[in-house]
Structures are given as structure tokens and as C-alpha cells.
Amino acid sequence: MASTKEINQPNFYSQSIEESLSQLEVDPKNGLTTSESEKRLNEYGKNKLEEKKRKSIFMMFLEQLNDYLIYVLFAAVAITFFMGEYTDGIIILIVIFINAFLGLFQEIRANNAIDALKNLSHPKALVRRDGKTMEIDSELLVPGDIVLLEAGRIIPADLRLVESASLQIDESALTGESVAAEKDAEVQLEEDYIPLGDRINLAYMSTLVTYGRGSGIVIGTANNTEVGKIAGYLDTDDNEKTPLEIRLDHLGKTLGKIAIGVCILIFIISYFQGRDLTEMFLTSVSLAVASIPEGLAAIVAIVLSIGVTKMAKQNAIIKKLPAVETLGSVTIVCSDKTGTLTQNKMTVQEAFTFSDGLISVDDEAENTFEENLLAEAMVLASDATLENDKQTGDPTEVALLSLADQWEMDRKELGNKQPRVDELAFDSDRKMMSTLHSVDEEYILYTKGAVDNLIEQCNYVLQDEKEIEITEDHKKEVSKAVEEMSNKALRTLAVAYKKTSSKIEKEKFEEDLVFIGVVGMIDPPRDEVKDSIQKAKDAGVTTIMITGDHANTAFAIAKELGIADNQNQVTTGKEINNASYEELESHISEYRVFARVSPEHKVNIVKAFKAKGNIVSMTGDGVNDAPSLNAADIGVAMGITGTDVAKNASDMILADDNFSTIIGAIEQGRNIFNNIKKSVIFLLASNLGEVVAMLVSIVAGLPVPLLATQLLWINLITDTLPAVALGMDPGDPAVMKEKPRTINENFFSHGGTRKILIGGILIGLLTVVAFLIGYFEHGYNPMNDDIPDDIHAYARTMAFLTIIASQLFYSLSFRSEYKSIFQVGIFSNKYLVGAIILGFGLQLMVLFIPLMRNAFKLQLIGLNDWLMVLGLGLVPLIVNEIIKLFLKRSKNK
């Protein structure tokens, strides 16, 4: 049960601690009683975001049938049943329901994948109840609960802080501010409205404690939290159709009209020819069915399902099947820096001491006394933890612990030998923190912080294991080292120490210090990202970095990754604020890096790129990213660090939060669309061949070359096998050497129409030729009326086998637009080879099993006729291969 009742109250940030405690009727020392918490749980509901009610499986199944093409097929079923051709009608119904069940299966599986991601873990909450401290599931929190906070804890509900000790909270998921917010419980804000990021006496659900400790009283749970309110804004039923859905819908309507036109045309011709109208009505219905690729919707669903399953294995979870097609048209990928382009793991790269100068920490030379003391100070003056890749605390401090491990220092032994006895926490004014440790009845103090602030508190420097009085030259040397590190986008941190014979007061901690050195650290790029960005560039896809970092840091990473070449390609949130939207839109193509931007800026950036005709992908993980994910053509949420709201607003989820997965998904999306196109074009060419064969024969006054049951067998069974196999074609490596497909490109571009017309006309005419041969070799004129039934059956057998052979062989030419079947490899698509073999096997089964041969009104044929069938069947393939040769030469010229 989700939250059902709101707390009727003024803004808690404008209340004192006492007023908040009084309103929610709780004693901060004891917390709520068990009975009171259970009462409030029934009153307010569980602390879980309320989700939009899922459609029932039956409704999802009905939606699979809500398609114009399906309506036409249902009409064909009704007509065939009316005519007494129950077998034909049942076959069509089977195809319709197979298609619907495939779509239903994939939708259920996609929903289950999302649910699994959302339910990976329920954060626990440390609360005070009945005067005891206990850990409970965060879903059981109620307004009035006293929640205890410490570094590494996720805030489980909206809180009015009651206590705070150097408390810092990462609110980037909600406010977009990358720097942790400092909190103060004692502050009482008196203005009527304060922005979320400035409410320093409140803590919000889904944010993270990075430093210090505190406690707070729950003032909002579930959908009554700030996160819940944003989730509510996004809970809409807006299901805009993708280009693929629109094209398939349009194709279905067009083919439906063609089918009606074919029926009318045959009736008119048959009427004037004096044919049996009842017989021709059934023939016209069969031909109408032949003009519609019944398997199209099912095949598209199968191809998408196979592709999406493959993408899921590659860590890209697609929420809607047709969204795959949009990936192939993406021209702009807007990516967050931290964790997506980078490892989201601060790493120390360089260190500076006066004895060694500026060094790489990867240098395998033995560490000097100064370097060891530098690492020792950073380990001891730290509140972070790092054990077996499990970490808590500030990422910067975790990086310093990693450096100690890299230098093979025993951190545990270090802590035992120098236990901490006092500390002075970090604050934003001093920009330093200090810890005092006891060592053999003496004391040593370690201080770390911003270089400029720390060096001013130092009277000495450590050089060659000696404490030397600091000079201006020393300061210049430090400044030079810091500048070199900054130019490499390294974040710098300085360390100092001093020894004392007795314990000292905190006021004197940071006086008369000895400067040890500086470390430079960075969140390094992922190893595979640079190659992925180049691959995207070759494919005509531009990568855009969007980050909350400073411009210099962002540019350094962007330059290393090949995203930006010069500083002019960088702009900042401040510059965006100072410009109008029209100016942003006019200059948007000039930028590759957007630094220090807010979530509000992201929406305008997406809109500006889209206004220039781009198809935009946008990554995001926070609640505040949801609007930009919605605005993008493909919204990509982070599966590991992403919030539920971001995942709900997205089209795709990255299970590994990796940029390279996006580029892999684009490549897969392109190949999937190409495979769908191959299947569609093949089906249309095959169906056109059937229509041409029937129309030519009827217009020429010949008997019909194919009976209704034969047409349906060809159309529903034989055509489908190669079409599915083409949909499973291996990805073409060259697909990422091509420019993105335009969003309005249809199935008939790039030679699609040519393949349909040439293939369809050739298949149809060759079928008529085979049909005539069946008469002439027995000495009969097909225009005569006194032809035995077995001769009609023989001629139709020739036509039946020839049209099947033509279609099966012709499917081989669809593997590539320019490469011959030998360059692609005849056996490189084992599914297609298998489909062709199975297709011929099915025809042999129909021909040689007497029961089926009689049902389909066929005759056994001789060896010479088999050679004739195979020879005619190869013609469309050979003609298309010759055309490819000329097209390739023309392209090369």
C-alpha cells in the first residue's frame, strides 16, 4: 500500500526543531513507540513510490491485435469461413494469434526486467523506536520516525534535521548540484519559498550522506516526498508511436487498399471474360490474402525480440520494442561524464614532494620517506572505508586509501599504531580537516585540504627528511606543480603534519604546520570509451559531454577521449543562462562540451539539437534528469546509479552505466532495422510475384496458375521461413561506417523498390512460364476448354514449385545491397541456409506424401521438369547479382 495521506503543515524548513517535533508528536530521544508506528503505517501507507497500475495480461493481449493489418486479416478470415474454406481461415487465425502472443511475451519480459532492476535492493533505515536504535526496511518508515544518519547511508524519506555534525549530503539526484550540500539542523529559514538546494535544514529521499553524521524527523514518505512529487508529474499515458510503428501501420493500410483493389479488378475482368463468379470470388480473396504479407507483423516482432534479447545480454535493456529502430537514426549522443564516460572512481595519478618533485604514482621506484609520510597522513586523516572493493565516504578520500593500497601500506596496522584521539572536521570556510593521533606517548597531527588554504598555515616544509623553514621559492614550486596537475584536469589536495609532546586544543590544530606535499587525482576515462567515441564518429554520430564539473576539467577529459579539439567547443551553464534560447539553438552545433550545467539546461540543450534536425539520445540517472530523458528521442537511464524516476522516464536502461554500451546499442539498432527491412522487402517481392502470376494469367485468359490453398501455403509457410532467417542475419561490421538513417526513411529507399519490382515481376512471369510449359510439353493449349484435370494439376505443380524455388533462391540476394552472395558468404547465415533447405523439404513433403499431394491438387513431375524448375528459380537471384555488380562499380566511381 502506497502513501495515502499527506501531512497538513507549513514548510518545515521555516519551523524550529521543537515546532517540528511537537507537530509530529515525537520525543527525539526515544522515537515513536511500536504501536504508534504501526498506527501511522496504516494511516499513511508504506514508504514506497506509488506506481501506475499495470495493464492486465488480457488487455495487453488485445492491444497486440489493435492494428489495421490485423483488421484486414480478420476480414479475410470472415470471408474464407463464409466461402466454406475453413482450413484457409484457420491458418490465417493461427498466424494472427502467434503474432499477438509474441508481442505479449516480449512486453511482459520487458516489464519483468524493469521490475528486477527496481527491486535489486531496498535501502535500510537506522531509526530510534521505543528508546532503542534499530535497523528497519525503509518501506516501514512513517512520519514522525527519528532517522539516524551517517556517511554512506541513503536518506530513506524526507527529513527535518534534528541534529547535524559536519553533515554533508549528495543531493545531485534531486537538485543536479554535483558538490555535496552542507547541512545545519539549527538553522530556521524564514522566507516563504526557498529553492530545494538551499533548504539546509532538510534532507531528501534518495539522496546520500557523504560526510558527518546527524539525525532527522520524517516529514514525508512515498509520494509525499519531493522525489514522489516529481514521479507523479511523469506518470502519464503518453504512448507516442515510433517511426517504425507508424511505417508498419501505413504499410498495412496501403496493402489493405491494394488487396481490395485486386479483388475488384479480378471481379471486373472475370465478369467480362464470362468466368464462374463464385470460383473467381474465392480466387480473388486468396489473391487479396496473397497481396498482404500476413507474416510481416509476426516477423517484425520476432526480429525485434531476438535483437532486444541480444542487447539485454550486452547490458542495454530496451523498454519498448519499436524504440530499437530509433536507435539506428541517432545522430547526437549526449552523455554525462561521471560514471558513463569515466570510471566513477577517483584515482590518484601524480604526487609532489620537495624531495622528489612531481612524480607518477605508478612509478615502480621504491617510495621515499616523504612519499610514505604523504600516504600515511592521507590514510589517517580520513573517515572513508575501503574493504574488498566495498567503500563508504567521500570518493576523494577513498582514492587516497586506494593509493596506500597501491603503495602496499598496511592501513589497519597504521591505524592501530596511531589511534585517533581528536579531530577537527572539514568545513567550507577552512577547506581543511585535521586529526590528532597518539604515538608512543607523543602526538602527531595530520591536516589535509585545499592547497592555497593549507600552505598558508605552514611554517615549514619537509625536504630530504628534514623540516626546513618555508620560503617564497617553496611556495612557487608548489604553485608550479599544482598548475601542471590542473592542466591535466587533476584535482589537487595538499597534506601537512606536526608533532607535539602533549595533546593540544582544536583552536591550535592548524597552526605552525609542516608541508609534506600534494597529490593530483582524477576520475579517469573508461578504457573502452575512446574507441567507442571514434566508432560513433565514423558512423556519423556526434558525442556530446554534459557535466557538472568545471570547464577545464571537462575539456581535458573530452580532449583525451576525442570529443573536443579546442576550448571554443566548450560552453558553461553560466553562458547558457546569459544567452536566449534562440542564441543557444543557433550556436548549438559549435559545442561538444557543456560544463557546470543544471538539469534545466539539459532540456534546452536537447531541444536545441532536435531543432537542428538531429535525433538525440540523452543519458541521465537523477530524478532531475527525467525531463531531459523525456525530451530526448531516446532517453537512456543508468541501471546501477539511476533512480527509479529516471528509469521510468527512459526508453533504454544501461545495466552497466557504460557509454560504450550506448554505441553498441546504436550499432545493434541499425542492424536490427536493416534486418527488418530485408524481411519486409523480401515478403513484398514474394507477394508481388504471386499477384503478378495470377493477374497476368487472368488478364491473358489463362486458367489460374495457383489455387487458393496453394497460395496460402506459399504465403503463410514458405515465405515466412526465409523472412525470419533474414531477420536473424549477423550484423554487418560496415554498418557503423555509414551515416545515420534519416528518421523519415522508408523501407523502399536504397534499392528497396527496385528489389521488389524486379524480383516480384520476374518471379511472377517465371511462374507463368513454368505454368505454360506444363501444358505445352503435354501437347495442350491452355486456352482450350477440353483439358483433362490431371494436365491442369501438372501445370499448376510446375507453377507451384517454380514460384517457391524462385522465392527461396531470391532470399539469398537480400543479405547485402552491394556485396555478392560469395563475398557475404553463402553459409554465413546458417538460419537462412536452413530455411531454404527446410522450405524445399516442405515442398517435397507436400509433393510426395499422397494425402497432402491430393489436398493441394498436385502431380509428380519428371527429372527434366525438376531441372527446369530449379533453372527458372535461379533467374531472379542471378539477375539481382548482376545488378549488384553494376551498382558496386557505379558506387566506386
Q: Do 129 and 36 meet the contact criterion of CB atoms below 8 Å apart?
A: no
Q: Is the pLDDT of residue 708 over 80?
A: no
Please give the average per-residue pLDDT across 487-514, as a whole number: 90
User: What's 658's DSSP letter?
Assistant: -
pLDDT band at 479, cuts 50/70/90? very high
Q: Which of 316-330, 469-483, 791-805, 827-841 has the lowest mean pLDDT?
A: 316-330
pLDDT on residue 237: 44
Torsion over CA: 603, 606, 607, 608 (sign): positive
Q: Which of 106-120, 224-238, 485-499, 659-673 has the lowest mean pLDDT?
A: 106-120
pLDDT 10s digits, 9-29: 457 888 888 988 989 999 988
Element (H or E) spanning 889, and its range?
A: helix 863-892
Average pLDDT in the chain: 83
Q: Is the pLDDT of residue 892 over 50?
A: yes
Q: Is the pLDDT of residue 511 over 70?
A: yes
pLDDT on residue 601: 86
pLDDT 10s digits, 807-860: 999 999 998 888 888 888 888 999 999 999 999 999 999 999 998 898 888 999
Please give the average per-residue pLDDT across 886-891, as a whole number: 78
Pairing of strands 458-463, 442-449: unpaired
- Report the alpha-carbon distance of residue 626 to residue 616 in Å, rounded: 15
User: What's 608's DSSP letter?
Assistant: H
Please give the average per-residue pLDDT across 187-199, as a whole number: 77
Q: Which of 17-31, 44-58, 450-464 has the lowest mean pLDDT?
A: 44-58
Give the number of other CB atoms < 10 A from CB of residue 29: 8
Q: Tell me the C-alpha to C-alpha distance, in Å, between residue 118 and each of 112, 113, 639, 757, 850.
A: 10, 9, 9, 49, 58
Please give the average per-residue pLDDT across 666-680, as a whole number: 88
pLDDT 10s digits, 281-306: 656 666 666 666 655 666 676 777 77
Task: List all residues 6 or more positions away from 202 whose beta carbon is below 8 Å from its beta carbon.
Answer: 12, 13, 158, 159, 160, 161, 219
Domains annotated for the chain, with CATH where assigned, are 12-52+123-233 (2.70.150.10), 328-343+526-657 (3.40.50.1000), 347-522 (3.40.1110.10), 669-892 (1.20.1110.10)
3-state DSSP helix/strand/coil % of the chain, to nearest 5: 55, 15, 30
Q: Is the pLDDT of residue 435 over 90?
A: yes
pLDDT on residue 121: 40
User: Which amino acid would we find at residue 667?
Assistant: E
pLDDT band at 117, cuts 50/70/90? very low
**336 included as an active-site residue:** yes
Q: Is the pLDDT of residue 515 over 70?
A: yes
Give the number of other CB atoms < 10 A from CB of residue 259: 23
Q: Is the pLDDT of residue 658 over 70?
A: yes
Options 88, 336, 625, 865, the catalytic residue: 336
Percent of the chain's residues with pLDDT above 70: 85
Best CA proximity match to 521, nearest among 386, 375, 364: 375
CB environment 223-256: b (16+ within 10 A), e (fewer): bbbbbbebbeebeeeeeeebbbbebbeebbeebb
Q: Do 626 and 501 meet the contact criterion of CB atoms below 8 Å apart?
A: no
Q: Which of 268-272, 465-469, 792-796 has the lowest mean pLDDT?
A: 268-272
pLDDT on residue 285: 64
Cell numbers of 514, please? 609542516
Q: Do 223 and 231 meet the contact criterion of CB atoms below 8 Å apart?
A: yes
pLDDT on residue 169: 87
pLDDT on residue 238: 47
pLDDT 10s digits, 348-380: 999 999 998 999 988 777 888 999 999 999 999
Best CA proximity match to 748, nearest among 172, 251, 226, 264: 251
pLDDT band at 236, cuts 50/70/90? very low
N-to-C CA span, the chain? 68
pLDDT on residue 2: 46
pLDDT 10s digits, 210-233: 788 899 999 988 888 887 776 665
pLDDT on residue 804: 95
Say whether 161 sits in a helix, a strand or coil.
Answer: strand
Q: Is the pLDDT of residue 589 over 50?
A: yes
- Report the alpha-carbon distance of residue 401 to residue 383 in Å, rounded: 10
pLDDT on residue 775: 93
The full 3-state SS of 30-80, as one line of letters, equals CCECHHHHHHHHHHHCCCCCCCCCCCCHHHHHHHHCCCHHHHHHHHHHHHH
pLDDT on residue 438: 93
pLDDT band at 50, cuts 50/70/90? low
pLDDT on residue 212: 83
Task: List all residues 6 or more positions away from 359 whose beta carbon is below 8 Å from its beta carbon.
Answer: 350, 351, 352, 371
Q: Is the pLDDT of residue 110 over 60?
A: no
Q: Which of 6-10, 492-496, 681-685, 876-880 has the lowest mean pLDDT?
A: 6-10
pLDDT on residue 374: 93
